[in-house]
A and B are shown apart, each in its own frame.
Chain A
Amino acid sequence: MVRRNQRRSAEDGLKAAEQRAVEQRLAGFAAPEPSAAATDALIASLRPAVRANRQEALGEALRAVAAVDDDDRDAVMVSWIRLALAQVSLLRPPFWIATLLVTLLGVAVQYSLEAPAFGIFAPALAALGVAYAFRPALTGTWEMEFACPIRPFEWLMVRFGVVVAYDLALLGLATPAFGGGSGGVIAWRLILLWLGPLLFLCGVALQASLRWGAMAGTMLPLLCWGGLLAVATALIPGLSVGQPSLPLLTEGIAPALWAASLLAGTLMIAQAPRALRGWGGAGADA
């Protein structure tokens, strides 16, 4: 390399001796050396930046953990959707058709009699739907469902969700028809009229099924619904079956009654895992 450098120097008109002389002069280009104290001061000044790195590295690690959790959540969501699709296929066509027919019947009665038939049919629809959904408890397949890899809690909530979602979709679609023929009843009051009792009876059906079996889960909600109607009739002056009553059911004290039933129903559904633990014990750990 030295020889090649020297040859290049010669080509460029710089002889080896001259190059060495220049290099020798360059060697005298001294630079001050930093003291140990200066190095310590420099290190001290850099520490905050390193600490920031530590914080950032910690943040990245936490975000990585969170990302794993997100992945897990996505996987759980996918498995629940698959489970819901399986429940849809388990609930045979007669169930879907019967529910639809009951809803249409309620709509027809409402239009022909102007009676609160829709409010009466909707909760019954929910109670019967939940009872149908839990019929395996009466047909002897319950143990098999316990034995499957899907936890009972997941099975319970997904199947319950499928049935209630179907009911909600049907009644939601039917609601505008009532709003149009009800003399301008505010939509949210009309929705509350059926949504409150529906969720209340769903909650009763769910809790009763878990605690006392599917038969109780079918009968108790209907009894509750009868009781609720009696309470409504007592509390709402002028309310009687067969009379035009939509304004009575959507004004005054009525919305508060439906809201209370909605709240009670939501609480009962939210308490379902605890009821499952007391009833069957296994799998209610979610």
Chain B
Amino acid sequence: MVSDEALLRQVHAGDEDAMAALVRRYHARLHGFIFRYTQDLQLTQDLVQETFLRVIRARDSEPQSFAPWLFRVALNLCRDQAKSAYQRREQPAAMEEMDWHATDADSDPAVIAEQAEVRAAVAALPPGQREVLLLHYFEGWTLQEVASALGTPLGTVKSRLFSGLKRLKSSIGGPTARGGVNDGQTQPATFG
């Protein structure tokens, strides 16, 4: 299989098939990451497209490792969007208005309510803690990889992770509707 980095070089040379291959590899992951960050489906689609556009247009960039670079581009866009939304004092789209759960197989109202609670708790996290949690748990990155991608010291990343977990514990740490406990044996714990 052609590496991501080789595909990127082909994309920068104008190869549309390479672009299609790269998008098919990363669309779902990037979509999930941005959605969990913004919790806005329309905005997610826009930011996914903008992320890929920036990657395509960054002809001077030759990242050693494509995936961390891709997610860093996406993260920067998310941050910029959050900053401009804050400046405009915009509120995220109400969960009720979103059709996000249309693809969710689980239609149990209790489960849906639980998920809404989790989403709200994640959205309430400070951006730094949210970024670390999303990359570590949902993208399956080690803390070292997260630190490299964010350009942040490893100790800071660990600190943000545990601070985020503590915050989440205080907001969603109670028993779940479905019960059961993650065995926690995988490292990193990956949900995505």
Contacts and interface: CB of A to CB of B under 8 A. Distances in A.
Main secondary structure of the interface of B (DSSP, over half): helix
B41 interface: yes
A55 B14 contact: yes
Interface string B22-37: 0110011001100110
B53 A49 contact: yes
A31 B53 contact: no
B118 A26 contact: yes
Interface residues of B, number: 66
A40 to B, nearest CB: 9
A14 B166 contact: yes
A42 B23 contact: yes
A22 B114 contact: no
Interface string A43-71: 10111011111111110000000000000
B166 A12 contact: yes
A52 to B, nearest CB: 8
Contacts of A30: 101, 104, 106, 115
B152 to A, nearest CB: 17
Q: How many A residues are at the interface, by size bracket? A: 35 or more
Interface stretch (B76-84, B87-95, B183-191): B183-191
Interface stretch (A1-9, A93-101, A146-154, A160-168): A1-9
Tell me the dominant secondary structure on chain A's binding face: helix
B41 A32 contact: yes
B62 interface: no
Given A53-B14, A54-B13, A45 B19 contact: no
A255 to B, nearest CB: 58
B102 interface: yes
B69 interface: no
Interface string A245-279: 00000000000000000000000000000000000
A25 interface: yes
A17 interface: yes
B184 A20 contact: yes
A12 B20 CA distance: 45
Contact of A33 (B103, B122, B142, B181): B103
Contact of A42 (B52, B106, B184): B52
Given A31-B35, A31-B36, A54-B14, A19 B187 contact: no
5 contacts: A17-B181, A23-B184, A32-B35, A34-B48, A56-B59
Given A2-B184, A2-B185, A54-B14, 16 more contacts: A14-B169, A18-B169, A23-B165, A24-B182, A26-B168, A26-B191, A27-B182, A28-B178, A29-B118, A31-B32, A32-B41, A42-B48, A46-B23, A47-B19, A50-B56, A57-B12
Interface of B: 11-16, 19-20, 23-24, 27-28, 31-32, 35-36, 41, 45, 48-49, 52-53, 56-57, 59, 100-104, 106, 111, 114-115, 118-119, 122, 133, 137-138, 142-143, 158, 161-163, 165-166, 168-169, 172-173, 175-176, 178, 180-185, 187-189, 191-192
